[in-house]
Amino acid sequence: MERPEDLDILSEMGHAITANASIPQTYFNMFKIFIGIGILATPSSIKQVGVIGGSVGILICGLLNIYTMRCQLKCKDKVGEHVTSYSELGMEVFGPQGKAFVDFCITVSQFGFCIAYLIFIGNQMDQVICIETQQDVCGHKNFFIIVSALILVPISWLRKFSFISYISLFASISIVFALAVIMTYGEENYVNHPEAHKNIRYVNARNMPLFFGVAVFNFEGNGVILNVQSSMKDPDQFDRIMRTVMIGIISILILFSVFSYEAFGDQIDDMVTMNLPHDNLTTSVQ
């Protein structure tokens, strides 16, 4: 079904979502939706369940996520093209109660994710400033959290995914750069400190519940894929884009997390960035 580039789709909140996002822009948006700070915490969770246990766990979470997202798309195809969000889908299938339940679940989950992001930003900024000022300016993470919120909240009001894609492109490049730096320093640590990876675990099923909590955090974008699809000029291509991105995300999560754990071993911190030495390059990553 073809759509004009300037077509506006009315969302459940009465705002217009402009359907003019290209295929590359949708790739950037999808990549950023599923790659965030969760990937920095996943290596330490691998330590809890082992290399094999963690790899299998990430694969299971990823495949379940693909399955549930495809269920959303199939359900939308059956109820009609006018549905542009998970909330509207709940309304069409289960009525007002379904919409209210979906809205509640999305609000609670996204609120938790956003709080985690703000805390991470506050901690990282406070640590960097403290180190750069030789511990003269420390303990201001609440200030950085507030400033970050004041910057990020207005961005959440943007309705054009084609515009958001430019932010996603910058964020995606930053993430890839950060992962490359972490893996570079990880390789150095692996070579220079062989004792760090002598006690690598491979399977530890007892900590699986904790691990799945972190692993699922990496797949937080499940609730907004209908919005992304509705923003496309050619929404029929979305299923292919989604599957391609998700296969890439699962692969990156497994490879990066296992590599980081192998590199730093039992010394790995909750956030792998905390294992990096302090220099100009790692400061830019943090």
| Average model confidence (pLDDT) across the chain | 80
The pLDDT tens digits of the residues spanning 143-194 come to 888 888 888 888 777 766 666 667 777 777 888 888 888 888 888 888 787 7
Judged against a pLDDT cut of 90, whether residue 63 lies above it is answered with yes
Report the pLDDT value the prediction gives residue 162, as an integer from 0 to 100. Answer: 60
Average pLDDT over residues 121-144: 78
Judged against a pLDDT cut of 50, whether residue 16 lies above it is answered with no
Worst-scoring range by mean pLDDT, 45-54, 149-158, 231-240?
A: 149-158
Worst-scoring range by mean pLDDT, 2-11, 189-198, 220-229, 235-244?
A: 2-11
- Pick 164 or 64 by higher pLDDT: 64
E strand or H helix at 10: strand 8-10
Does the global pTM surpass 0.75?
yes
Report the pLDDT value the prediction gives residue 255, as an integer from 0 to 100. Answer: 92
Q: Are 60 and 202 in contact (CB under 8 A)?
A: no
With 0-12 CB in 10 A as exposed, 13-18 as middle and 19+ as buried, what is 72?
Answer: middle
**Rounded distance, CA 47 to CA 53, Å?**
10
DSSP code of residue 21:
B
Sequence-distant (6+) residues with CB within 8 A of 250 are: 58, 59, 62, 63
**Rounded distance, CA 225 to CA 172, Å?**
18
Helix ranges restricted to H, the chain: 23-34, 38-49, 51-79, 86-132, 141-155, 161-192, 208-217, 225-230, 238-264, 280-285
Average pLDDT over residues 72-89: 84
